[in-house]
Amino acid sequence: MTSHDILIWSRRMLVMTRKEFLQLLRDGVLLIFIAYAFTADIYLAASGVSLQLNQAATRVLDQDRSGASRELLGRFQAPYFRIDGALASSREGQQLLDEGRAMLTLDIPPQFEHDLQRGQPTAIQMQIDATNSVLGFLASSYAAQIVGGFGLEAGLHQAGLSGGRLTDLPVIENRSRVWYNPNQNDAWFMGITELLTVITVFAVLLPAAAMVREKERGTVEQLLVSPLSPFQIMFPKVISMTVVILLGSGLSLFAVLMPAFDLPARGSLVAFFGLTALYVFTTAGLGLFAATLARNLAQVGMLTILILAPMLFLSGAWTPPEAMPVWLRDMMYVSPLHYYIDIAFGLLLKGQSLRALLPTIGGMLLLGAVVFGFGLYRFRRQFG
């Protein structure tokens, strides 16, 4: 290839890329959707979604009405629990659980304090609405810790080991250290996860929508009879959409997550944006594949959902890999988002170096090359 051929090839790529940007700027609805996804959607996900137990509605049936029962109930405090009032009967508590007006009910039996003082075993009935299994498990765990701690103190007091005498006993002290997110701020996890999901959605949707729009307007036939190659028709769409996604990602980080939620971004942001561009390029192959199957934008939307659903479920963002069956855990390695999530959290929260992320980057490159190559093959086969 001579220098003249290279100049012509580069000029064609530049003109086609400019055309894609102009078409995107003229689509006001799409621009509003992109702006919303990278700003308001990220903010709502980071501020409105929490994985922690917070202000669980608790109702109590205190049949003892003693100092010991009041001491125990006084430990069910915010931020985990909220005492919403007393119950007249256990049947009322069951009705409130059925109606979703209470999440936890406590039934303290008569003679509760009397049995404790005499060293006799006693029991508390606790009923939990576990419709949301995660919150139900947390409520059960925290309540069990509270009741267990109260029972231990009562037992030590009964044995005469309370007060200063406890300091003479051997004690195993548990000191926990939480890494990378010491305050266990859900906003960091939820915000980054939503950002990565939005990037994935647009990486698949935008190139496919741009290509199908050419089909709907009938301009794809005009492009095919021009001197342009299928690569020169397709690749500028990927370039323009990658630039838009990178700009949106920067907007999310610098205008939403960092100022509003104090996201630390401990690693290299240059590496993050570079690998994001690489991820968008490789994932765009799925969009090109969808474009070869779809005839209109509505079909593109449905195919995008079919592509994204397995990617999200197999990424490890919503379900820990350790909780998956072995056969499903092995399938995670065919999800590009699985690698990208490890890279993004490693750079933004852990501050990992590129050397530490090389195995993950290599996996994403290998899978991305296969995906992009397949999408390009389908495109050439249909339009070439």
> Hey, which residues does 128 pair with through a beta bridge?
104
Using the Cα atoms of residue 151, residue 157, residue 163 and residue 167 in order, give the sign of their dihedral: negative
What is the structure's pLDDT at 273?
95
DSSP 132-186: SHHHHHHHHHHHHHHHHHHHHHHHHHHTT--GGGGGGS----------S-TT--H
What is the structure's pLDDT at 119?
79
Tell me if residue 111 falls in helix, strand or coil. coil
What is the structure's pLDDT at 155?
78
Token pair listed for 27: 């689509």
Token pair listed for 101: 């007006």
**pTM to 2 decimals?**
0.83
What is the structure's pLDDT at 167?
64
What is the structure's pLDDT at 234?
79
Report the alpha-carbon distance of residue 302 to residue 147 in Å, rounded: 50
Question: Any idea where the domains of the chain sit in the sequence?
Answer: 3-48+184-383, 56-168
State the pairing for strand pair 125-128/81-86: unpaired
Mean pLDDT by 10 residues, the chain (384 residues): 77 85 86 93 85 86 88 88 88 88 90 84 88 86 88 77 63 81 85 93 87 75 70 82 93 94 90 93 84 82 86 80 82 87 92 90 87 77 62
Q: What would the CATH number be for the domain defined by 56-168? A: 3.40.1710.10
